Structure 1
């Protein structure tokens, strides 16, 4: 929404907003209540979502053999919590550009620096959202997680 508003303001510099810009803004406003409810559902269920994501990642084939160390588990929990909050804000504001600029580029750089070129942690966060929230709310998050996976995993 921030990017949408910036485009509207820039495009209307000295003129009226275009019909397309007004339609885009109307669409964003129309879906605000649903997005706000989904955002609040994630906020209210954050612990359950992250707990389930931790269980999913530990039981997956991508987890290292043997138990993860407490330090690794704590970092994983922290990183998934930060990701969940960033994706939730991107969805709330319906703003992929803001999500990219404020979180995804940073995440990609960190993962590359750590040599984690096939990191799948956020996949488990989305899977957990799909299990913890009603389907309609979970579906609002899917485009943002897809964007994240595409961007973070690209070279």
Structure 2
């Protein structure tokens, strides 16, 4: 949203914006209550979400995640996952999927690839989509899932 506003400001300097150019603002305003609600729910349930995802991924593929635990990476993975969840919630709030790769996701992708955690990340970010549905309405989930899917594609 913020980048779109900056781009609109630059593109319309010295002229009025057309209705088509203003549509993204109207769309955002229509979804802002849903975005704020989802953001607040994620904020309140953050620890539960992180815990449920950790449990679900260990149950889904115990051998895969045992490797992470052996190098005492569990706490690091939970910290990183928490950070990604927070960045994802911000991207949801501001309707700015580009915020993820530029601010955090590409950096984390380097770490994931360095330690060969690609498959683990893919499983994790697929599971978060399932777990998040327990906390969000269908409308909130529809806004949040594209961000979570981006995480899964980039990291997994």
TM range (shorter): 0.7 to 0.9
Q: 1:58: which partner in 2?
A: 58
Instruction: Provide the TM-score with structure 1 as the length reference.
Output: 0.87
Q: Which has the higher helix share?
A: 2
1:3-152 alignment to 2 at 5 Å?
Answer: 3-61=3-61, 63-64=63-64, 68-69=69-70, 71-118=72-119, 119-120=121-122, 121-152=124-155
In the alignment, the residues of structure 2 paired with residue 66 and residue 114 of structure 1 have an alpha-carbon distance, to the nearest angstrom, of 14
Q: Structure 2 length as normaliser, TM-score?
A: 0.86
Q: CA RMSD in A?
A: 2.1
Q: Which runs of 4+ in 1 moved over 3 A?
A: none
Deviation at 1:62, TM superposition (A): 6.2
- The alignment covers a number of residue pairs equal to 153
- Structure 1 residue runs of 5 or longer lacking an equivalent are none
